[in-house]
Structure 1
Amino acid sequence: MFTWLLTAALALAPATTDTPPQPAELLQPPSPEQVLAIPDDLRAVLHARVVVQGGASDQQRLEHLVRFMFDPDGLGMIYQHDGNYTVAEAWRTRKANCLTFTLLTIALAREAGIDAYGQEIARTLSWYSEGDTLYFSNHVNTGIRVNQHRLSIDVASDSVLAGEPPKRISDDRLLAIYYSNRAASLLAENKLAEAGAYMAAALRMDDGYASAWNNVGVLSLRQGRPDEAERHFLKALEVDRLHDGALMNLASLYAGRGDRRKEAEFRTRIERARQRNPFHYFMLAMDDEKRGNYEDAAVHYRRAIKLYDGEHRFHYGLARAYLHLGSFQKAGEALRRAQAVAGRNMGERYQAKLDQLRHKGL
């Protein structure tokens, strides 16, 4: 029912002409207070279903909140990949992506007296393309602190491949992601003036957010200002020297200029970044599997695991490769490791696979 879409870092994008100026009232993004504001009717339902029924216990109120968020007789939210909405818009439309779901959860949790905050996973295996634009993604979810315990509420825990654990972020960063997401959507619609207003709002909230600088650079390209775009892409790399979108955009920009030296420099940096990226080796391993090259697949899965041991899909992929190679003992060890780092649901699935191996006497 729920899934995710993350903050977009627009990569390669062709220059286009600007659209006619939009009415002034359309250029104003909602204020931070308006983004997180809870409508009165939603507040009333929340207090009846969560605060009153949960009572004085933080743990019980959290359990009621989770049911309220997920159950069909609660909010009944529906996933929409471009659902970058305010809390009020999410309540009205019952649609959200991962960012909007995080904003909604934080706002409602705080109203219910629960300590809630945003968390970001800066590098995930996620991208998609629309037309001539490639979108790279990161992921956000909600962190909760109850009785000295820290928990996460994530609508995409089974579908996001993360190369690092989530990190707590400020409300300013979370709102910067919201404004940057909206800017990316508007840019895709060629509403450049409105996109610019949202990008400016993102940088006002957090000028240390690399994806916002990268998106501003894409906007400058769309407006025919490549020198300005170059400065913005370089600024993104000052903030995050491994930012995929900025590296790719600069390589493309220099290629378009015919500057082969700088193009080669940034393509080298891209390749070096890939060598430090476990997802690069994960993708290579999956390609090896498709071709039936299980020896190379095992090598690439092991390299991915060396860079990041905490992703159960890496270990499961290694187990598959070992099974095809006839290394059943190693396959069992890889499956046990996959089970150890997976959540409860996936762990049970891996246990079933281990039982199958044992039943076969392997």
Structure 2
Amino acid sequence: MVVATVLVALLLQMGGAFAQVVAPGEVMALPGELRERVHRDVLVGNPGMLTRLERLSSLMYTPEGLGMTYRETANLTVAQAYESRTANCLTFTLLFLALAREAGIDATPQEIEQILGFRQADGTLYLSNHVNALVRVQGRRYIADVAGDLIIARDRPKPITQQRLIAHYYNNLAVERLSAGDYAAAQSLLRTALELDPDYAAYWSNAGVVHLRSGDARAAGEAYRKALALDPDNVNALFNLAGLATRTGDSTLEREYRQRLANLQRNDPFHHFMQAVNAQNAGDLTRAIRHYRRAVALQPEEHRFHSALANAYLEQGRTQLAIRSLARAQALSDGDTRAAYRDRIDALRAR
């Protein structure tokens, strides 16, 4: 996520009312009433694991169950999610894992380290991480993911510990407090995240942002460098260190960090996609198409990249090239999305 002149890593864009903070051991605690529902609606009759999973899914989604709905700003504990019936990707995963554990289902958290949420605000694209749950039942694997269709992932999901998942909860609350200007609360929440998982680079980079906003550039630099020591390719830390070098007038360090950042971005499809969107918004279609094509070359299986390229071609009046890109997007998609691409292609051919 871009916050002014710094980059902040988070699981999702935050906003809304500040959730009440609880101790780490209480984040995934099941309310007694919800535990009773698991035993009544999922475990009754001692069913097999596949039936338990089907019943658990029904409990979470159907109106007669919990009727959970997705809300991007719902960074909540399990108890708060049960009370509000809302969850974002992190909260949904916390809730699913807590319920699965009560139901005796083998489920573990996963993280996709870099995604491009297909979402814009005032011409800005937001980068974030994403989490979901991996379920193993009778030799087969299933993914429990409340927002999988809303994201573009660069990497495959990797397993993480439950402790890291809970640390993400405090990191997200810290980002919320940072955006509200409550730096003391943000620092406290990030301390909790770092106590739970001190080796996660993004927390250190975020801590540096809070230090800088609090007026402590020295502490900010130390935190950014700690992030970079843990992850030498951490884009957030490099970006923030380059900005800090600019503030302190160290042009040599600034060039070093910006060069390292440029080397990473050269082969980053998300970077090229964002550059393309910015160029298209500015009316520079030639530059936009060049970056869209680079994004497509780097991640050719992403149908939304082909679709975005088609839109740029259409703005430029190159209908045949737009049709070709839409045909590729159609081939890479399925279901309603595939049908929508087909309708667009038919309409363009008829025109």
- Name the TM-score, length of structure 2 as normaliser: 0.81
**1:94 alignment partner in structure 2:** 85
Task: Write the distance in 2 (CA, Å) between the matches of 1:142 and 1:38.
Answer: 17
TM-fit CA distance, 1:356: 5.3
- More off after superposition, 341-350 vs 82-91: 341-350
Residues 128, 135 of structure 1: 8 Å contact kept: yes
Alpha-carbon distance change, 125 to 11 in structure 1, aligned in 2, over 3 angstroms: farther
Q: Deviation string for 1:247-275 (max 9, x for gaps)?
A: 22212211111222222322233333322
Say which structure, 1 or 2, has more relative contact order (CA 8 Å, 6+ apart).
1
Alpha-carbon distance change, 355 to 167 in structure 1, aligned in 2, over 3 angstroms: farther
Matches within 5 A, 1:249-328: 249-287=240-278, 289=280, 296-321=287-312, 324-327=317-320
Amino acid paired to 1:202: A
Q: Deviation string for 1:44-66 (max 9, x for gaps)?
A: 1222223338x523233222222
The answer to whether residue 74 in structure 2 is matched with residue 65 in structure 1 is no
Amino acid paired to 1:48: R
Ranges in structure 1 where 5+ consecutive residues have no aligned partner: 1-7, 14-27
- More off after superposition, 256-265 vs 336-345: 336-345
The answer to whether residue 166 in structure 2 is matched with residue 175 in structure 1 is yes
Residue 48 of structure 1, aligned match among 40, 46, 50? 40
**2:141 alignment partner in structure 1:** 150
**Helix, strand or coil at the partner of 2:259:** helix
**1:20 alignment partner in structure 2:** none
Amino acid paired to 2:133: T
Q: Deviation string for 1:87-135 (max 9, x for gaps)?
A: 11211222322211111111112222222121212112248889xxx97
TM-fit CA distance, 1:290: 5.1
**1:350 alignment partner in structure 2:** 341
Amino acid paired to 1:52: V
TM-fit CA distance, 1:320: 4.1
Alpha-carbon distance change, 167 to 336 in structure 1, aligned in 2, over 3 angstroms: farther
- Name the TM-score, length of structure 1 as normaliser: 0.79
Residue 106 of structure 2, aligned match among 112, 115, 136? 115
Residues 49, 105 of structure 2: 8 Å contact kept: yes
**Helix, strand or coil at the partner of 2:199:** coil
Task: Write the distance in 1 (CA, Å) between the matches of 2:193 and 2:227.
Answer: 13
Alpha-carbon distance change, 258 to 162 in structure 1, aligned in 2, over 3 angstroms: same
TM-fit CA distance, 1:242: 3.1
**1:4 alignment partner in structure 2:** none
Alpha-carbon distance change, 67 to 352 in structure 1, aligned in 2, over 3 angstroms: farther
TM-fit CA distance, 1:38: 0.7
Count of matched residue pairs: 333
Ranges in structure 2 where 5+ consecutive residues have no aligned partner: 7-19
- More off after superposition, 207-216 vs 189-198: 189-198
Cα-Cα RMSD: 3.2
TM-fit CA distance, 1:237: 1.4
Alpha-carbon distance change, 164 to 117 in structure 1, aligned in 2, over 3 angstroms: same
Residue 219 of structure 1, aligned match among 199, 210, 225? 210
Amino acid paired to 2:264: A
Task: Write the distance in 2 (CA, Å) between the matches of 1:223 and 1:262.
Answer: 23
The answer to whether residue 15 in structure 2 is matched with residue 39 in structure 1 is no
Amino acid paired to 2:320: S
Identity of aligned residues (%): 42
Task: Write the distance in 2 (CA, Å) between the matches of 1:129 and 1:219.
Answer: 23
Residues 86, 100 of structure 1: 8 Å contact kept: yes
Amino acid paired to 1:309: P
**Helix, strand or coil at the partner of 2:147:** coil
Alpha-carbon distance change, 343 to 36 in structure 1, aligned in 2, over 3 angstroms: farther
Task: Write the distance in 1 (CA, Å) between the matches of 2:343 and 2:182.
Answer: 51
Residues 284, 297 of structure 1: 8 Å contact kept: yes
TM-fit CA distance, 1:177: 1.1
**Helix, strand or coil at the partner of 1:119:** strand
Task: Write the distance in 2 (CA, Å) between the matches of 1:277 and 1:236.
Answer: 20
TM-fit CA distance, 1:222: 3.4
